[in-house]
Amino acid sequence: MNKDFEPQIIAFCCKYCAYAAADLAGSMRLNYPSNIKIIQVPCTGRVDIIHLLRAIEDGADGVYVAGCMEGDCHFVCGNIKTRKKVEYVKKTLAELGIEPERVEMFNLSSAMGPRFAEIANQMGERIRNLGPSPLNIKQAA
Give domain 9-132's CATH architecture.
3-Layer(aba) Sandwich (3.40)
For the chain, give every domain's residue range.
9-132
**Residue 44 near residue 67 (C-beta atoms within 8 A):** yes
Confidence (pTM): 0.92
d(CA 7, CA 132): 7
Rounded to whole angstroms, how far apart are CA atoms 140 and 48? Answer: 27
How many alpha carbons fall within 13 Å on the CB side of residue 65?
A: 30
**Digits of tens for pLDDT over the chain (141 positions)?**
566 889 999 999 999 999 999 999 999 999 999 999 999 999 999 999 999 999 999 999 999 999 999 888 878 788 899 999 999 999 999 999 999 999 999 999 999 999 999 999 999 999 999 999 998 765 544
